[in-house]
Amino acid sequence: MTISLQDCHYYEQSGIVPVFVMQSPNPFCDVLLTSELPQRDEKSTLRKLEENVREFDLEMIHSSERIILAFMLFGVYIIFSTVTYFYAGTAFLNDIISSEEASDQFWTVCKLPVLNPWDPELMQAIAQSKNKWKKKCWERKSLTKLENGKVFVEPPYTGEYCRARCHRHLNDVENVIGGWQELGENMNCEFVETACWRNNTMVYGRMDSQIIPGKIKPLKKAQTKDSGPKHKYDVYILLLDSVAYSQSRRVLRKTMHYFENDMKAVTFPHINKVGDNSRPNGIALWFGKSVEALDKTLFGGGVTPADWDFPHYCDTYLDDEMSIFKEFGQNGYTTLLGEDWADGVLNWPHCKGFLKKPVNHYMRPFQLATERLGSYVTRNNSRDGSTCREPHHTLLKYLQQFMDAYPDELRKMAWLWMSHLGHDSPVKVEHADPDFLNFLKHNKKKLDNSFVVIMGDHGLRFGEVTKTRVGAIDVNNPLFSISIPSTLRRSSKILENLKENARHLQTHYDIRATLLELARHKAPEDFNIEEEFYDPNEKGTSLLRKPNATLTRSCHNLPIPFEYCMCEYSVIDIDRNTELAKTLGEFLALSINKRLEEKKFDKKCMKMQFKAAQKLTRYREKMNGSYIYTLSVVMDQPSFANFKAKIRDSGNGSMEIVGTINREDSYKRTANCIDVNSYRPLCYCRKHQ
């Protein structure tokens, strides 16, 4: 029985694998079909084949039985293929399901970053930063002092003629300025400007503050003796603008060490901002409202519009809204708000803010006098660097006066918002570290009977620091640390709950919910909290409570716009000089111009033109079928503006910006031709060129 060369060609062309191929590496047809002899000698080749047949103890098949064998082999082939494809197909489907589950888990699970405050890349950027700050001031002894409501000339100055006048609150942008009074007269106001003349020339000007205690207002009728707050814990918030969590470990080392070790403060490494700059984060903290849309389409959800649009939060007085200050005031607290900037959180650049004082003691007249409304000498002497009295000194002094003016039994709530120290520099805060440390030490006894918060609103938003890995996370990761009354550290579960919550992702809405609980709490002196604190109108949960074990806290299910999400997802670095980078960069420039055009700002702002990509990454996993890129670019002259944005590419030529386009360099006056805060970062004024 023989196998011809044609038989092997038949098997090869028909796709049928001879059964003996399953027993060994094709010992028959491989010989016939892969022979490298110059000429195929069928007899010699068959001789080799017959030898192989004998070697494998196989009987040669008669040619008459060839067709039967073919059908038998074909049947075996069908059965074998069916089984193979069934298992392969099942595995393939399982792979798809596993891939989808992995992709879903990729986006829904938050990997929290671990940051090194002294990361070499970060430290190099700080060293090279143009905003690196060195303290330069001139120690000058004050010519006058305000004490017990009267202004006196400090010895040995006797040759100057000095007078004083009051600055009182009218609204957020105007003061009621009194007439000049002789020294020694009673100054019945909290903010006093003193000026001195020599030979009819003003040579001295200074602003001072004092607290004039108000009458203690009784609780509203709706608040009975039983329903009102029974504890006597004060609440103090010190907010340092643009200070991130990891940055605080570097620039507030003494303060934070004392706060955490001597006052047992719990620091939260994973607070995520909810807006770009101070205003959206401040409004979230003070009012619990959003001013930026929340886009969850990347997670398969929808777009939640902002709670307040620009006309509401800028062109309307906010007195009727329920602020955090009103919450504390209505619950029997005497309140204070001090900012070191005349425009403040709610006013920049031309917004109304509050018409009436939002608190019992409001420092706005002081800032208006030192920046705009005082005499030119007063304004000049108040500028940072002209004397060693800095803005944060005046705020801490006002708070000290507030704490000393009222008895310990009276509930007090105060909020300081300090912008000048951290807003433009990664290092300027450090020189103020001893000031905050001394404040905590000096008031240790009072603060041990208080809830004390040291926090930021967001991290540093400009400069080379933001282009480092740590700096890029810092911008979204503000500082938050809280100390509770010493008695509660032992008698309640609050400290335990705070430490547990500090392990998870949190937002400003959760900080607000915590403060609301302090304002509204009706528990007895031990502050024992077992029931859940819940307000359906709030977006956050109190950090004083045990965390919800069933909720995975991530940007997927928290009110955090994706462009600010600090969760770390695996990314792929892409060469910034590729055609893809250019395409995305040009699309970003086009998107900026389109946004300005839609608001009719294109007549005031120049068109942005893409110059170069600075960095391009892509998230490893697709999100709902789309790739998400993170792109940093520099625009062409004259703006040379630095922008960062997330861009979704659906793969069919369709691209869109995800959320806010972030400005990475300082723009300041180059955008003064427009007022809308959310569009100013996109603008380079035509008149500025």
DSSP string for residues in 125-192: HHHH-TT-----------SEEEETTEEEEPTT--SSEEEEEEEEESSSS-EEE---EETTS---SSEE
Q: Give the residues of the chain that fall short of pLDDT 70.
A: 1-104, 130-136, 138-139, 158, 216-231, 383-386, 522-533, 689
Q: How far apart are the C-alpha atoms of 572 and 629, rounded to whole Å?
A: 9
Residues 6+ apart with CB under 8 A from 381: 204, 205, 206, 387
DSSP 685: B
Structure tokens given for 547: 């965390």
3-state SS, one letter per residue, for 331-372: CCCEEEEEECCCCHHHHCCCCCCCCCCCCCEECHHHHHHHHH
CB 29 within 8 A of CB 8: yes
Q: What integer pLDDT is reported at residue 68 of this predicted model?
A: 54
Residues 6+ apart with CB under 8 A from 279: 291, 313, 345, 346, 348, 677
CA-closest candidate to residue 479, choices 137, 222, 247? 247
Q: What integer pLDDT is reported at residue 280 of this predicted model?
A: 97
Query: Which uninterrupted H or E stretch holds 209?
Result: strand 201-209
Q: How far apart are the C-alpha atoms of 689 and 687, rounded to whole Å?
A: 6
Q: What integer pLDDT is reported at residue 154 of this predicted model?
A: 85
Q: Is 28 left (phi over 0), alpha (psi -120 to 50) or beta?
A: alpha
Amino acid at 24: S
Distances (CA, A) of 502 to 2, 112, 455, 505, 633: 82, 12, 14, 8, 35
Q: How far apart are the C-alpha atoms of 119 and 121, rounded to whole Å?
A: 6
Domain ranges for the chain, please list them.
1-108, 120-137+211-333+411-564, 571-688
Structure tokens given for 180: 């000049």
The DSSP bridge pattern shows strands 412-418 and 234-240 to be: parallel
**pTM score above 0.75:** yes
3-state SS, one letter per residue, for 590-645: HHHHHHHHHCCCCCCECCCCEEEEEEEEEECCCECCEEEEEEEEEECCCCCCEEEE
Query: Which uninterrupted H or E stretch holds 655?
Result: strand 655-663
Q: What integer pLDDT is reported at residue 166 of this predicted model?
A: 99
Q: Give CATH for domain 120-137+211-333+411-564.
A: 3.40.720
CB 357 within 8 A of CB 412: no
CA-closest candidate to residue 415, choices 353, 457, 464? 457
Q: What integer pLDDT is reported at residue 52 of this predicted model?
A: 46
Judge: domain 571-688, CATH 3.20.10.10. no
Q: What integer pLDDT is reported at residue 433 of this predicted model?
A: 98
CB 533 within 8 A of CB 523: no
Q: How far apart are the C-alpha atoms of 188 and 686, rounded to whole Å?
A: 48
Q: What integer pLDDT is reported at residue 224 of this predicted model?
A: 42
Q: What integer pLDDT is reported at residue 25 of this predicted model?
A: 36
CB atoms within 10 A of CB 433: 17
Q: What integer pLDDT is reported at residue 204 of this predicted model?
A: 92
pLDDT in tens, 372-420: 999 999 998 876 556 789 999 999 999 999 999 999 989 999 999 999 9
DSSP 3-state of 226:
coil
CB 42 within 8 A of CB 98: no
